[in-house]
Structure 1
Amino acid sequence: PPAPAPAAEAGAGAEEELPQDWLDAKKLLDDGEAVEAKVVGSNAGGVLVRLGNLRGFVPASQLAPHRKASDMALADALELVVDQTLKLRVMTCQYGPTRRSQRLVLSETEALKADRIASMRAGDVVSGKVTKVEHFGAFVALDGKPSLSALCHASELSWEALRHPSDAVRQGDKLQFKVLSAEPRRNRVNVSLKAMQADPLLERMGDVLTETADDDAECAIVPGVEAVCERLRAVEGVVGVTMGRCGLERRGGSQDF
């Protein structure tokens, strides 16, 4: 599932009472904008960055995957990041009267995800694996880097009426979807499975039937068609009405006259 939304706390004072550097950091958080910051140190849990006059923290789990080589100790990998400039997003901005009560947490992975989401457009076809099915829809891990989680709402899973999303997809299914919306600010992607198929209500008779039945061949009459024929025959100027091709589709019937 998508990561929880970043949180901001202004502490005891009103926003206008915050020091300017904290106001700037809070604006970055509220706007979801990325910022570049230089790494000035590292510790056992991550790296320290300088943002204006503030010192922020980037947990090791929030650094880009390529910075954490599997054949290298974490402390050594973090040390290599020192003096580099990273593109980051503010995830937590908490101001307090003492340094111990202040928290400024940033993420490189969230900034990379936002860049990828910003490159997506409605209608793009993406591939992914269903990771979780809920009553409101399915979560999908999209292929590619950085990893992204998208939501396919229950109403976008199938043209058919579903009792539960699990009637259409199961955990582990690998499928293609169409992007409905991509929001970099919120790192949110909504996709559709049913958009990969044509709306059955818009199909033409020629798409439903490949062959025309012989005139003498029996064809199941679409319910209600006979009554329609009677009304048409009663219209002034109509000489006669005969039925041609007919077909029963999943969501309705089709009839040629």
Structure 2
Amino acid sequence: MPVFTAAVGSVTGLSFLSQLFTGDAFSTHSSISTLINPSKFSKSCLKSPIKRSSFYPPKVSVSGGAKAEESEQVTTGAVEDSPDAIRQARRSADWKAARAYIESGSIYEGRIEGFNGGGLLVRFYSLVGFLPFPQLSPSRSCREPHKSIQEIAKGLIGSLISMKVIQADEENRKLIFSEKEALWSKFSKQINVGDLFEARVGSVEDYGAFVHLRFPDGFYHLTGLVHVSEVSWDLVQDVRDFLNEGDEVRVKIIKIDREKSRITLSIKQLEEDPLLETLDKVIPQDGSVGPDSLGTSNSYNIEPLPGLETIFEELLREDGITDVRISRQGFEKRVVSQDLQLWLSNAPAVDKQFTLLARAGRQVQEIQLTTSLDQEGIKKALQRVLERVP
């Protein structure tokens, strides 16, 4: 029986999936036995080798001289007269093999045969699939940041890449691969919440920045997201004011979604919340500012800073706030600002009491706010009060 071949030729896109197969040998980079039994091709990287040959119809054997000869003639004639059926059977088997890779989560060693404007073209037996550029390992661009993605793609032609099949849609002829998913299978086991990484900023979006994690081997294997809320303790109106592509940063892993292959990172949590303050932090009790640096007199003996009394009155009109009083005051070495500054400490509440700090000149006053509101509710109440107070 003659052996049919796949003519590789030049590849310009996914339309290659419907190309005709003619000739007398498979023109791929491996032998026929490898193509018929892909477990030989990728045995070292598959969790459970997938045999493409198991998807083909079984051969029919016929015994007896004349009958055997007749059967051979009929079979040969069928092959020669129905190349479309043979091609379709081969492609159908390969689509089934692709779906089997998805179901098993196995790694496929794919050879790169070309590229286009959106990604790499990957040989999958008689099919050609697609590996989008965003699904490449981040190390490829981090190692050669001076090269364009097209230059990197050109250098990968002919090489074998470990990847996962992430979509196999035979009806719409979509066979999609991901190198990132293959790396996730290997390297996600090495990370935990709380781990710190040196990293490089990839793309920057309005909602945050995608950051590539550098592992001890020096390569960037995984990518996580630093949400805009985790960029800085300062108000971040535009992520690009703080981060740009190529920046070297240090990040902390704060969440791992192993089911969705997602990592949430934080930059700001490497520093203590600057609003996690009490009077003791603002004015350390080390004796460096004199014996009167901290005062613990009865709150009724402490004269409120100019403007505070009006704010207290307005706060008591807010639903959920039952008491506002000055608990302590201190004196700084220097005048920070003559204007009244008021902020809510992020220190946790104790017995439904939150801490406010007020500063003007050298004086700092610590205020205890008794309320049933949570921290966000207090912030909104303060905002309404400050809008009412001239």
Quick check: TM above 0.5?
A: yes
Q: In structure 2, which of residues 224, 230, 234 is the aligned counterpart of residue 150 of structure 1?
A: 224
1:124 corresponds to 2:195: yes
Equivalence for 1:245? 330
1:214 corresponds to 2:290: yes
Equivalence for 2:166? 91
Contact 2:254 2:265 in 1 (8 A): yes
Instruction: Quote the offset at 1:196 in angstroms.
Output: 0.9
In structure 2, what residue type is equivalent to 1:195?
A: Q
How far apart in 1 are the matches of 2:200 and 2:136?
Answer: 24
Alpha-carbon distance change, 226 to 206 in structure 1, aligned in 2, over 3 angstroms: farther
Alpha-carbon distance change, 128 to 25 in structure 1, aligned in 2, over 3 angstroms: same
Alpha-carbon distance change, 184 to 114 in structure 1, aligned in 2, over 3 angstroms: farther
Equivalence for 2:206? 135
How far apart in 1 are the matches of 2:230 and 2:132?
Answer: 36
Pick 1 or 2: higher relative contact order, CA cutoff 8 A, min separation 6: 1
Alpha-carbon distance change, 23 to 74 in structure 1, aligned in 2, over 3 angstroms: closer
Contact 1:90 1:105 in 2 (8 A): yes
Query: Alignment partner of 2:181: what SS?
Result: helix
Contact 2:232 2:268 in 1 (8 A): yes
How far apart in 1 are the matches of 2:200 and 2:156?
Answer: 30
Contact 2:294 2:329 in 1 (8 A): no
Equivalence for 1:5? none
Structure 1 window deviating more from structure 2 (140-149 vs 20-29): it is: 20-29
**RMSD across aligned C-alpha pairs, in angstroms?**
4.8
Structure showing the higher helix proportion among its residues: 2
How far apart in 2 are the matches of 1:178 and 1:88?
Answer: 27
Instruction: Tell me the TM-score normalized by structure 2.
Output: 0.40
In structure 2, what residue type is equivalent to 1:189?
A: I
Query: Alignment partner of 2:106: what SS?
Result: strand
Query: Alignment partner of 1:179: what SS?
Result: strand
Contact 2:212 2:220 in 1 (8 A): no
Contact 1:221 1:246 in 2 (8 A): no
Q: Deviations over 1:105-154 (max 9, x none)?
A: 43444301343234322211122223343322223233243443322111
Alpha-carbon distance change, 63 to 136 in structure 1, aligned in 2, over 3 angstroms: closer
| Match runs of 1:56-67 below 5 Å | 57=129
Alpha-carbon distance change, 176 to 217 in structure 1, aligned in 2, over 3 angstroms: closer
Instruction: Quote the offset at 1:176 in angstroms.
Output: 1.0
In structure 1, what residue type is equivalent to 2:242?
A: A
User: Identity of counterpart residues, as a percentage?
Assistant: 22
Alpha-carbon distance change, 163 to 112 in structure 1, aligned in 2, over 3 angstroms: closer
Question: What 5-or-longer segments of structure 1 have no aligned partner?
Answer: 1-18, 229-240
In structure 1, what residue type is equivalent to 2:175?
A: L
Equivalence for 1:199? 273
- Count of aligned residue pairs for this structure pair: 206
Alpha-carbon distance change, 93 to 205 in structure 1, aligned in 2, over 3 angstroms: same
How far apart in 2 are the matches of 1:121 and 1:215?
Answer: 47
Alpha-carbon distance change, 226 to 246 in structure 1, aligned in 2, over 3 angstroms: farther
1:106 corresponds to 2:177: yes
Contact 1:246 1:256 in 2 (8 A): no
How far apart in 2 are the matches of 1:203 and 1:134?
Answer: 32
Structure 1 window deviating more from structure 2 (57-66 vs 194-203): it is: 57-66
Query: Alignment partner of 1:35: what SS?
Result: coil
Contact 1:37 1:49 in 2 (8 A): no
Instruction: Quote the offset at 1:165 in angstroms.
Output: 2.2
Contact 1:113 1:146 in 2 (8 A): no
Equivalence for 2:349? none
Alpha-carbon distance change, 138 to 105 in structure 1, aligned in 2, over 3 angstroms: closer
Contact 2:294 2:330 in 1 (8 A): no
Alpha-carbon distance change, 202 to 129 in structure 1, aligned in 2, over 3 angstroms: same
In structure 2, what residue type is equivalent to 1:116?
A: F
Rg: which structure is higher? 2
Instruction: Quote the offset at 1:35 in angstroms.
Output: 0.5
